[in-house]
Structure formats: structure tokens, C-alpha cells
A and B are shown apart, each in its own frame.
Chain A
Amino acid sequence: MNVDVLNRSGIQPVTASRLAIADCDIHPRPLGAGIGGISKSLYPYLSQRWRDHVEAFGISYRQQWEKGSAYPKGQPQACRRDAWPDGGMPGSDLKFMAEQHLDPNNVTLGILNPLTSGQGAQNPDLSAAITHATNEWQKEEWTSRDSRLKGSVVIPYEDALASVKEIELRSGDPNFAQILLLSRTAEPLGQRRYWPIYQAAVDANLPIGIHAFGYGGWPVTGGGWSSYYIEEMVGHSQAQQALLISMIFEGVFERFPTLKVVLVEAGLAWGAALMWRMDRQWAKLKRETPHLKMLPSEYMKRNVWFTTQPIEEPEPRHQLAEAIEWIGWHRVLFATDYPHWDYDDPAHALPIQMDDTQRRQVFLENAKAVYGIV
């Protein structure tokens, strides 16, 4: 984010040593706005039936607006002002992205998380068609052209069967490193309706990334709709806590012990307090969920990872290191959120003392391990 960073002295920027880094949250975007909210860049991957549908009916989500997001962003497309390539949307031009971000920051592994991919659309068949097209588009126009980049399999997650089909199609395809869901779902993600997705993920040996935002139709607080964008942005951490609570107590990680879940763009410092709370309450209430065989925190430490951006910025900064220590250095994956406005610059985003091992873990090794990249 574009703010002054305090207490920087004595801390070596990661780029000074040219450490190779993984960026676990990059947002590519089809060129141009298109008709009905769907870019024409996706047309080569859509059947005539769905091109016709898009041009006549567009795409609607569980929110009020025909296009755009529920809350007006802080700036156009929530993007950095300097991230707009000539004639296109931020994130729509691979060459521009490479020159502005991948090359100078020595990104050797970039995970693509497309956000305008039809996920959460009201029409489930349309959602399946657009997500499928988006996966084809990632392969043709991004990952096959730049070997540093890996795609995320976007799925129409409210329809588990259609999702499973899409996951099976991508199983074993080296263009994809994870399956992507948005966090604001129609029901908490621990619910049984989503379990076929987890089974398919385990079968395909792909982690599940869960990115902030979505269109579940519920207010971002348990007490109704907030007024401001800042409330929605802060609220993503509450939404991610809720979905994690659901996945743990429903027993998802008991049923799928090898499932990997990566929580994207919702912070990480809250992890410790949530673990403590879950453990202490479960100690009294475990008769309700006897299907759990370990402490809630043990599932969290075994099955869940966090991306860094937007990294919390306590003062004094060393408290962030303590917060990471509580959840474990091996659970943390560096991410910039390029090209969004609250981009975390790898040179400045983690102004805390780390030893070499921790630095390599956070900036590269943890990501390689989670995503199975050698």
C-alpha cells in the first residue's frame, strides 16, 4: 500500500540480494470490458450458445449492480494508477506486467488469480461456462507464454458437480497450481455441498486457494450491510475467519487430511487469536463435534496457509514477527496483489527481522512446497 514505512533502518530489502520470490496473488484480466460484463477476449473459449447469452442477458451476481462491485472502490478498478497498459485494463498485458512487476522484483513463481471469472454468478450454467473459458484463456494467453506463471483453476463453486468436472479436466495439467474460490459464498465453505470439490482437489493434488470477495448474497457483517468500502475491505478478514471456522468444525480436514487451503488477501495476524479461541471453546463444546479428532488449531497448522498481502502493519513492527511465529513461519506465502491499489512491494512490505531461513520460507520455499513446484 502507498504509505510510509517506519523503522526501516537495518533491514535489508529483499530485492537488494536479488532473492527470487514467489508472488502468490497476481490478478490477470481479460483485455477490454466487453458486452454484458464479459470480455470478448474470452469469446474464443465460449460456445456460440454462451456468446449469445452474454450479449442478450449479460451476467448478474447476488448484488445490486449490473456491472462493477457492490461498494465503489477507492480508485478505478481498485488498481494502481501506474498499472494501466496502453489501451487496456490493469493486468491485461503480459509484457507490461513482466516489465513492471515480474522482472524487476525477480518473481520466479507467480500464481494467477483471475477475479472476474464468472464465479458466484446467479446463473449456474453461465458461471460454469465463463469459469471454463477463463481457465482456457489463462492457459493460452498467460501460462503457456511465461513459464514463471501458474494459473488457478477457477470453478463455479456454488455448483459442486460442475466444479468437479472442471477440476478433473485440469488434473495433471502443469499450467495450473491451485483451484480458486472466492470467500463470500452462499453457505459457509465447511458445508457438505462443497465437499465434492475438496475430494476432487485432493484427487488432483491441487491446493484450494480462497480469495477475498465474492457474491454469496449475505451482508458482510452478521448484523447487516455496512455503509463503506473500507468496512468491506476490513470485513474480508471476518469472512475468512468464518469460513475457516466452518471448514474446521464441519470436519473438512478430518475427512480430507491432505487438503491444502490457502487463504488469500485477508490478512494473517488474526490467525493466532482465532486458534486460541477455537481451541478454548471446543474444549467445552466438543461433544457437539465429536468427528474432530484433533484440536481446531492442529487442523489449522496442518492444512491452512496464509498469503501476506495486505500485510498487517503494527507499530512496533516486531509484533508482526510474533504474530507470524504464533501461526508458524512455514504457513506464510508472500503475495503482492498486483496490479491492485493496495499492492505490497516486496522490498518494503515485511520490515521485520527475519533470519535467512524465514526469509526464504516466506518469499519462496513455502509457496514451492504448497504448490508442489520443484
Chain B
Amino acid sequence: MTLQTPVDCDVHPTVPGLRALLPYMDDLWRETVLRRGIDDLTTISYPSLNPISSREDWRDATGKAATTAATLGAQALDPFGTGIAILNCLYGVQAVFSEDMGAAFTSALNRWMVKEWLDVDPRLRASIVVPMQSAELAVEEINRCAPDRRFVQVLLLANGEVPLGRRQMWPIYAAAERHGLPVGIHAGSTYRHPVTPVGWPSYFTEDYVNQAPAMQSQLTSLIAEGVFAKFPNLTVVMMESGVTWLPAYLWRLTKFWKGLRSEIPWVSDPPGSIVRDRVRLTLQPFDGPPDASAVMRVMDHIGSDEILLFSTDYPHWQFEGLAAIPEGLDPSLAQKIMAENPRLTYSRLNQTAQTQLGQPQSGQTQTGPSLSPA
């Protein structure tokens, strides 16, 4: 087998402002944006100037990062030899209260990604952003985008109006499964509820650290409600919320599953086996132990070499230089995480000969310099 290039499963294109999406809206919404003076939908999950939101050396003269495909290619793909990168656009279209506005802005966002990103760099793929305000409208958007094979995933935020396992969300999972798209759940919130189960925090740091517990709660919901039983071909990818929490979380969930499974009889497999088969996590932020020699012990606790997917989380600040692979990770495992696991997870990545409705694609031959830890 030839050496496969890395697949970066979590990079973030920056929307410069709502005006950038105007060309992709119809007259009603274009006029709404202009007349009502709606400027921007950046949420408090990733405030513009926050140190996490963009690594300092990746910001341009205006202070923003990742505003064009060319910049993203030069900063996030070329240096890592990345062959494919998946765009997860984090712009607060899911957080507006109006379902109609959410759907209109979401659709414009996806059209903008196609035109200004996917069409510009053949290495790019994207997640379909959906209006979480309405499962019905979300399904419409999935159906609209899915024929373009460069869309490889459906994107949800961890915290919406209801836990993600709830039955009212199921049409989204049915659509994703039908189209062969994993559902990616990314850190973030629509802020319908405080990000913690004990109310609103004071600091951004708390919000960000709490994204790991938030992801844990959503995984509990998906498992307990029976999403994995109902949709046997659905894969869930949890993004940008750490990975080292997984073992202890599963130990606790499994213990309660043994004691309380009569409440959720459709969950017939132990949670750990469901997760190993059906759930994937992106690598950054790794949140590993300070002692690199303990990293492989954590991997033993995770108990699978297929569960992690390479990500830089560009342009978010998670590591310095090119050190995207945590120190202490075995090189063979790193190779799997970077190249093999993503291709096993995203079936559409293996159909790169037809990127858009049967059109052949060029420029897929680039190979990276090295897959070993930086």
C-alpha cells in the first residue's frame, strides 16, 4: 500500500462577516440583513480576538485567520502534507432564534463554502451546516447539499435546544445515514441553555473547558435514546472536545448501564462496544497527560486504535509550530490516526475521483513529507 496522505478532520474557515454571505441569499434575506443591520453571527464560543480562536502566527493584518482558501492551504495543509481537510464552519447560524432565518443563513453559508472554498482548493471537503432550529429544515438542507460528494459529513453543535439523542432530532440522523454521511458534533452551543448543568460561568476559559463534559452528556443522550440501534450505519464524530475523558466516562456509563438498562432496553450492547464501533473523536485539543510516557497508557484505556482522527483544529490555537501529533504517541498509531482512520470513517473520502456530481478531480497526488510525530 502506498503511503496515504494525512486527512485533517477539523479545520475552520472564517466567515469575514454576514455581508460575505449576501451573494448566496435570495432578495428577501439580503434585504433583511441590510435593512435590519445584521452584521455578524460570531458566537461567544469563539470570540474573534480570543487567543484560542486563532493562533497568533496565523492571523492576518486585520487580526483574522483562515479567511481564504489560499491562506488555509498555505498554513494548515501544505506544512503537514495534508491531502484532504474537512471544513467545519463555526458561524452562529444555528443560534438565531428564527427557524426561517436560521435556514436561510445556513443555506447561504453552505453555498459560500462550495464557491469560495471547495471550488478553490481540491483538497478541501466540508461538513454540511444545518439549521438545528428545525429538524425538518435541517433535512432539507442535507438533501440539497448531499449530492455534492465534497460534502462528507453533517455538522451539529454539542449544545442545542434539546439533547442530541432526542427523537425530534432523528430525521437528521436518518438523512445522514441515507446519504452515507457521518454526523459530526462539534464543541459549541446555541446558548439556549447555560453551557454547564449548574448555570452560566464567568469566564471564557470555563466555557471552553466545559465543552468536554458537554460532549460527554451528548454522547450519553445518543446512546441512551437508542440512536445507534435505530441507525445501524450511522457514525458519529465528536470534534474539538478532547479525547482523554473517554475511558473514565465509559466506565461510569457502563456501570450504570448494568444497573439501569431496564430503563433503556433497546441499548443491548455495552456502551464501550457501541463507542468503539460507531463513535470517533478528533485529535486536537488532545488534553493529554503532561508526562509523555503516560500517553500510551491513556491509549490503552481508550482501548481502540481506530477511534481517533487526525485534526489540527486550524486556526484554533492548540499547539505550537507543527506539533499536531502529541508527544508520546507511537508512530504506527499516529500513522493510523492521520491517514487510515479518517478514510475508514468518511466513506466519501474514498470516492475522490468524483468530487462533484461525477466530475473528475485533479490534484490529488500530493504526498506529505512525513507522518511521524512532529
Contact = CB atoms under 8 A, between A and B. Distances in A.
Interface string A275-295: 011111110110111000000
A211 to B, nearest CB: 13
Interface string B267-290: 000000000000000000111111
A267 B248 contact: yes
Interface in A187-231: 187-191, 216, 218-231
Contacts of A245: 196, 201, 206, 209-210
A63 interface: no
A238 B258 contact: no
Nearest to B208: A281
Interface string B207-222: 0111011101110110
A190 B256 CA distance: 29
A312 B193 CA distance: 29
A238 B297 CA distance: 23
A267 B255 CA distance: 11
Range, interface on chain B: 35 or more
A249 B202 CA distance: 9
Interface string A336-367: 00000110000000000000000000000000
Interface string B252-269: 111111111111100000
A274 interface: yes
A191 B206 CA distance: 12
Q: In the complex, which of the residues A228, A243, A282 has the most CB atoms of chain B within 10 Å of its own CB atom? A: A228
A184 interface: yes
B251 interface: yes
A307 to B, nearest CB: 14
A282 B205 contact: yes
B252 A323 contact: no
A279 B289 CA distance: 10
A223 B140 CA distance: 23
Given A184-B198, A238-B216, A272 B248 contact: yes
B218 A223 contact: yes
Interface in B218-244: 218, 220-221, 224-225, 242, 244
A279 B205 CA distance: 11
A73 to B, nearest CB: 9
A70 interface: no
B189 interface: yes
A261 interface: no
Nearest to A190: B202
B245 A288 contact: no
A285 B208 contact: yes
B202 A267 contact: no
B158 interface: yes
A273 interface: yes
A242 interface: yes
Contacts, number: 256
Contacts of A76: none
A223 B52 contact: no
A323 B246 CA distance: 12
Interface stretch (B69-77, B161-169, B350-358, B360-368): B161-169
A273 B197 contact: no
A214 to B, nearest CB: 8
B342 to A, nearest CB: 23
A186 interface: yes
Given A218-B194, A287-B51, A273 B201 contact: no
A167 B189 CA distance: 38
A280 B285 contact: yes
B218 A288 contact: no
B19 interface: no
B155 interface: no
Interface of B: 51-52, 158-166, 189, 192-206, 208-210, 212-214, 216-218, 220-221, 224-225, 242, 244-245, 247-249, 251-264, 285-290, 294, 297, 300-301, 317
Interface of A: 1-3, 74, 183-191, 216, 218-231, 233-235, 237-239, 241-243, 245-246, 249-250, 267, 269-270, 272-274, 276-282, 284-285, 287-289, 310, 312-314, 319-320, 322-323, 326, 341-342
5 contacts: A223-B160, A224-B162, A230-B263, A238-B213, A285-B208
Given A228-B264, A273-B287, A285-B52, 15 more contacts: A184-B198, A185-B198, A187-B199, A219-B193, A224-B193, A225-B162, A225-B163, A237-B252, A238-B213, A242-B198, A243-B196, A284-B52, A288-B204, A312-B248, A322-B297
